[in-house]
Amino acid sequence: MPKDCRSNPGLVPDAGWRKTVFFTSLLIAGASSGNIRKMSLFVQFLLDAILLGGLYALMTVGLALGLGVTRIINFAHGEFIMFGAYATFFGAGALAIDPIIALPFVAVLVAVGGAGVFKLVARRALAAPRINQILLMFGISLILQNLAVLMFTGDARSVITSYSMGATDIADVWLPHGRIVAFAMAVVLVIGLVVWLKRSELGKATLAVAQNEKAATLMGINVNAVYLLAFGINAGLAGATGVAVSFLLTITPFMGFQMLVKAFAIVILGGLGSIWGACIGAFVLAFAETAVAYYVPNGIGWAEGVAFLVLLAVLIIRPRGILGQQVETD
Amino acid sequence: MSASQLKCTAFLVFAVVLVPLPFYSTPVITDWCLRLGTLMMLSISWNLAANAGLVSLGHSAFWGLGTYAAMLSANSLGFGFVVSLIPAIAIGMGVGALLAVITGRLRGFFFAISTLALSEGLRVIAVMTPEVTGGGEGLYIDQANRPDSQTIASAAIFCSFVLLAISWVMFRSRYHYAFRAMRSNEAASQMFGINPAAFRIAVLMISGGMASLAGGLNVWFGGFVDPAIAFDLHITILAQVGPILGGIYTLLGPVIGAVAAIGISELTRIWFGVSGLSLLVYGAILCLCILYLPNGIWGAITRLRKKPAGPPARMAEGRP
């Protein structure tokens, strides 16, 4: 297995964050002898799964928060991710801003955009029947996606940074720099969100609305402002996810949808509206996907389907998810 | 003539005029006929499921299954056009029943996401089993058995009238009230002696079979399929746009909506000269109809015709 090919995986444009996984599975074929090899392969598997899980957690906590507070299922979540990635791309291209520096700006930009969408349209769905909510949000996502097609064309783009292609070899375990940067972003933002929810006045108010909106109103919390805030944070975290994936994946107007379905699978796996559940679900899915990619023949392709299998399994075995409170039947 | 006789006559007149239309027209109109027929079938199918409270975001799953069933039975078993539609319907009904069993009593968001996942999961399976489906490269249908496009378009219109008749029968039967009760509250409907599990299986079998039939017809017209085309999100969107635009939970709504949706997509194509606009327009239709026209075109017409005695009927299923 020639190592230089793994250290420069950015040459494969659409391999995405499974780049490392792909090249490591080539390694399985090449190195079938020796326990040290197997050991380092296992360490590599753990590392890849954890790095992927961090990204999935970032991708999902915002959705879980928005869902828990507003009870609106945000089908536009994937589109917010996509807009975040495009903002990073144009920032990196036109203004030569590194994605790490662009992160707060893009997150705020997308959060404001998301709050605008909420103010204009989604707010009206708050009290609407469930079917209207689903179709309305679905319509918004369609509009945003196709606006992106019109504005940015369907061409695939990618952000190239000094760290997006590099990797360090430590005792036969490869540390891909780009994914470590993305993981660090995810850890900072997810911990930041949790601390904000637990410590700050507004965060506590948000949690209160998520628990019981009527009681929160009686306590003098401006519920409508909290809805707006939660939806904005949802969009902002989606935008941040867009920044984190912008230098790992190819950016197209359609990138959001695939991530949306996965994010939904994680939300249901973790339990509807639970942030901790979303984090756990993210790592469960990441480990399951990476395991399939590593240890199943043709696993890279099949890994794409793991989310749906996990989702079906959850629906059959435990529809309320790992930490969920209530499941929607009647 | 009584009102129902009048409706019956109108139905037959429309059928007699429209079914042979592709044979006496230009290729463009033949193309419209096929699109209209398949869209009507999809809309009727989606509306039936929604009528029982099941919001599907995965009608492309049934469509794609029908596509592959028709294509594979024609290519490897040598089935002709009409015969190949039987496995297409069968697989749609089978998977519909399976979906009903798996989702159990889940509804709303959970059901919607399950259907979305079903469609995406099937797409992954289709990509990953190239021995059967041709994988990402796709498959061409065996030209030997393929009828001319007028026949297929005419068959699509014919089938859409058959499905309309089926849904008419269902809307007139007492089961219609059972579905409406399920839509409002499944647990309460149980107390009236309705078995929601059995009804759910039945309604998803019928709905799934209808959407699969549309997919099977369409593949004979196009002659080619790959996983991205078969399980395209576009199909799911089209299936919703018809009923929402025309009037959800009504018999004629999906038909009116299908005609209007085709009209709107053709007009935007002609006016703006960009074909990629139709999805944007469909998204806008979904949003505007939900916000300002929740009972669709048909709802607006009936409201104009007779002023309602009470407050306008709200759609069932309030916020939990």
Band of pLDDT at residue A5, cut at 50, 70 and 90: very low
> Using CB atoms, which residue from A73, A130, A149 is nearest to B276?
A149
Cβ partners under 8 Å of residue A59, min gap 6: A81, A238, A241, A259, A262, A263, A266, A282
Cβ–Cβ contact B148 with A under 8 A: no
Find chain A residues with C-beta within 8 A of B314's C-beta. 129
Best B51, B56, B102, B113 residue to mutate vs chain A (most A CBs within 10 Å): B113
What's the average model confidence in pLDDT over A155-173?
A: 82
* Minimum distance, in Å, between the CA of residue A165 and any CA atom of chain B: 28
- For residue B100, the chain A residue with the least C-alpha distance is A316
Does pTM surpass 0.80? yes
Q: Cβ–Cβ of B290/A136 closer than 8 Å?
A: yes
Write out the H or E segment, with its range, that includes residue B139: strand B139-140
Q: Can you give the pLDDT at residue A6?
A: 33
* Minimum distance, in Å, between the CA of residue A60 and any CA atom of chain B: 15
- ipTM of model: 0.84
| Distance from C-alpha of A221 to C-alpha of A215, rounded to nearest angstrom | 9
Using the predicted structure, report yes or no on whether residue A192 has a pLDDT greater than 80.
yes
Cβ–Cβ contact B110 with A under 8 A: yes
- Tens digits of residue pLDDT in A211-242: 888 888 888 888 899 999 999 999 999 999 99
Find chain A residues with C-beta within 8 A of B268's C-beta. none
- Contacting A residues, span 22-61, partner chain B, CB-CB under 8 Å: none
Q: Can you give the pLDDT at residue B47?
A: 94
Q: In this predicted structure, which of A241-250, A265-274, B70-79 has the lowest mean pLDDT?
A: A265-274
Residues B122/A261, Cβ–Cβ less than 8 Å: no
Q: Cβ–Cβ of A139/B314 closer than 8 Å?
A: no
Question: Higher-confidence residue: B79 or A26?
Answer: B79
Find chain A residues with C-beta within 8 A of B317's C-beta. 129-131
Residue A325 forms part of a structural domain: no
Count of structural domains within chain A: 1
Maximum distance among all alpha carbons in chain B? 61
When computed from its CA atoms, the radius of gyration of chain B, rounded to whole angstroms, is 19
Q: Which residues pair with A176 in a beta bridge?
A: A167
Q: Can you give the pLDDT at residue A213?
A: 83
Reduced to 3 states, what is the DSSP secondary structure of residue A206?
A: helix
- Contacting B residues, span 261-300, partner chain A, CB-CB under 8 Å: 274, 276-277, 279-280, 282-287, 290-291, 294
Residue A278 forms part of a structural domain: yes
Residue A225 forms part of a structural domain: yes
Which CATH number do you get for residue A30? 1.10.3470
- SS3 sequence of B40-70: HHHHHHHHHHHHCCCCCCCHHHHHHHHHHHH
Write out the H or E segment, with its range, that includes residue A275: helix A275-295
Amino acid identity, position A188: V
Question: Higher-confidence residue: A220 or B205?
Answer: B205
Q: Can you give the pLDDT at residue A7?
A: 33
Cβ–Cβ contact A128 with B under 8 A: yes
Using the predicted structure, report yes or no on whether residue B127 has a pLDDT greater than 70.
yes
Best A131, A213, A312 residue to mutate vs chain B (most B CBs within 10 Å): A131
Find chain B residues with C-beta within 8 A of A143's C-beta. 280, 283-284, 287
Residue A326 forms part of a structural domain: no
Structural domain boundaries in chain B:
3-232
Residue A329 forms part of a structural domain: no
| Distance from C-alpha of B20 to C-alpha of B1, rounded to nearest angstrom | 27
What's the domain range around A81?
Answer: 4-317
> Six-digit token pair at A290?
């990476």
Q: Cβ–Cβ of A140/B284 closer than 8 Å?
A: no
Residues B230/B27, Cβ–Cβ less than 8 Å: no
Residue A54 forms part of a structural domain: yes
Best B290, B314, B315 residue to mutate vs chain A (most A CBs within 10 Å): B290
Q: Cβ–Cβ of B109/A304 closer than 8 Å?
A: no
Residue A75 forms part of a structural domain: yes
